[in-house]
Amino acid sequence: MPKQKTHSGTKGRIKITKTGKVLRGNAGKNHLLQKKSAARKRRLDIASAVSGKRAVNAKRKLGLK
């Protein structure tokens, strides 16, 4: 039986911390940045935690569970 492949789209978007938490980036930082305040853009830089079933699904796509 061949190995399961890692989901390529997920591995670029999701980070797993050492303790096993799932982190994701925030949307809205790609274009139309001129009208957004500096504080809003800084807030979008900080990764958000994912929990529940979404975290389980993300880990499964990365081959962790």
Q: Which residues of 31-57 are buried (b: 16+ CB within 10 A; e: fewer)?
A: eeeeeeeeeeeeebeeeeebeeeebee
Q: Please tell me the predicted confidence (pLDDT) of residue 10.
A: 96
Is residue 1 scored above 90 in pLDDT? no
CATH code, domain carrying 32: 4.10.410
35 within a domain of the structure (yes/no): yes
Structural domains in the chain (count): 1
CA max distance for the chain:
53
- Give me the domain span that covers residue 32: 8-61
Rg (CA), the chain: 15
In a domain, 21, yes or no: yes
| pTM of the predicted model as reported, rounded to 2 decimal places | 0.86
Is residue 1 one of the residues assigned to a domain?
no
Residue range 4-62, pLDDT digits in tens: 899 999 999 999 999 999 999 999 999 999 999 999 999 999 999 999 999 999 999 99
Q: Which residues pair with 15 in a beta bridge?
A: 23
